[in-house]
Amino acid sequence: MTIKTFTAVATLLSSIVPATVFAQDSQLDLKFAGALEFSEAGTLFVGDNYNGAIYALDMTGGNAPDQVKPVNIGDIDVKIADVLGVARSSVAINDMAVHPVSAEIYVSVTRIGNFESAPAVMKVTQDGSIELLDLASVAFQKQELNHYPDQETTFRPRGLGKMPPLVRDVAKGDIKLSSLAIMDMEFHDNELFVSGVAFDNFLSTLRRIPYPFTGEQSAANVEMYHISHDQYETRAPIRAMSIQEIDGKAQLIAAYTCSPIVAIELDEIVDGAKISARTLMDYGNGQPIDMISYSLNGKDTLFLTSNSRSPYVIPVDSLNGAKAYKKGDLPDGGRSDLSPVMPVGATGKTVMFDGMSLHMDALGDNFFVSITRDMYTGSLNMDSNFNGFPNRLHNLIAEFDFPQYYTDKAK
């Protein structure tokens, strides 16, 4: 059973959240627009890694289209830059999320100027027009996060094995740990679940925040057994997650870098807890980006994208009764894609995807919308494709494209 599914049916969900929740008594002080997530009613949550806070923007009250249409925009980064009045190189796209009622697509970006950077949230309508969201006019709530990492500590540069770090590796030493403080957000049953890192040595953290915001929050630390690294890990955070019903219980299914899939029962996520996530599988090296819940051939399914490999499709029901791996269950030592042991776990498979998806979400019941780097032109495009075969056929030349194929079939 899917805990969270997309719906574009016109509803009165906005009545669930009283208008007074969004009463503004101060100016929105957003400094960074990062991770995005929608509630079922259309509240847009925006993660701010600079302020250490999450903002709930009132995007409720939208109307559902008669039919959700695919949205395709070439050179989306150029067009966003044009709207903002800056060069393409001055725009960094951080995340994307689809409004669950209006099917409008929201994109969080950073505008990089000569002296400072500024956040922006763009809205892409069903007809493909691009608008800058006027944040000053939007009613909002703000939730500051506790145990937030400082803004000084940076990552440690490293080389590969015994090799010294290259110049590009050394540059990692300028990146702050707080850049991973809000990695992913998942809204479920009037609560916002937030993955990221906190300030102490046990960095990997799951936060649980009631919504509407009350100032309350729970923060639990998470460790997991990392199969490809053959060690228990407590620092690198969850990259992508989805809440599903597994073995009759609501569980958070999460993906980490290099790339274990773990399960955590929601009842375990309480303030101050030290959680040992159950590692169910590892599909190989790479960094997960998005985990999308959708229906494939009538089955609840997870679609997981990565920066280093083809998307991975996981049938949700295959996680029922799945074995949880611990150290000692497999041969000692780390393992890469070439290891005969990988992938580990009896579920899921990779699927073809043309290009590199940087951000992806469900668009209605039948489409995925993706900000995709084209492998032939290098352009960054917003593409919508059928979720049963999410590829751009114009980039694929196969037997079916030859006119003689149909001539022969007609004989």
What's the pLDDT tens digit per position in 54-104? 999 999 988 999 999 999 999 999 999 999 999 999 999 999 999 999 999
pLDDT in tens, 270-284: 999 999 999 999 998
Report the alpha-carbon distance of residue 322 to residue 379 in Å, rounded. 41
pLDDT 10s digits, 158-185:
888 888 889 998 998 899 999 999 999 9
CB-based burial label for 125 (10 Å; 0-12, 13-18, 19+): middle
Which residues make beta-bridge pairs with 142?
A: 55
C-alpha distances out from residue 239 to 127, 190, 236, 317, 335, Å: 31, 22, 9, 22, 20
**Which range among 30-44, 71-85, 195-209, 269-283 shows the weakest confidence by mean pLDDT?**
195-209
CATH 2.130.10 fits 13-145+181-410, yes or no: yes
Mean pLDDT value across residues 348-374 = 96
Contact status, residue 154 vs residue 179, Cβ threshold 8 Å: no
Whole-number pLDDT of residue 411: 64
Beta-carbon contacts of 208 under 8 Å, excluding residues fewer than 6 positions away, are: 191, 192, 193, 194, 217, 218, 219, 220, 269, 270
CA nearest to 380, candidates 72, 106, 76, 129 = 76
Average pLDDT over residues 246-268: 97
Is the pLDDT score of 7 beyond 80?
no
**pLDDT tier for residue 346 given thresholds of 50, 70 and 90:** confident
Residue 190 has pLDDT above 80, yes or no: yes
Tell me the pLDDT of the chain averaged across its residues: 91
Residues of the chain with pLDDT > 70, as a percent, come to 93
Query: Once rounded to an integer, what is the mean pLDDT over residues 1-19?
Result: 38
| pTM of the predicted model as reported, rounded to 2 decimal places | 0.92
User: What's the chain's Rg over C-alpha atoms?
Assistant: 21
How many CA atoms, within 13 angstroms, populate the side-chain half-sphere of residue 406?
4
**Contact (CB, 8 A) for 33 and 110:** yes
User: Which residues is 118 bridged to in the sheet?
Assistant: 111
368-395 as b/e: b if 16+ CB within 10 A: bbbbbebeeeeebbbbbbebeebebeee
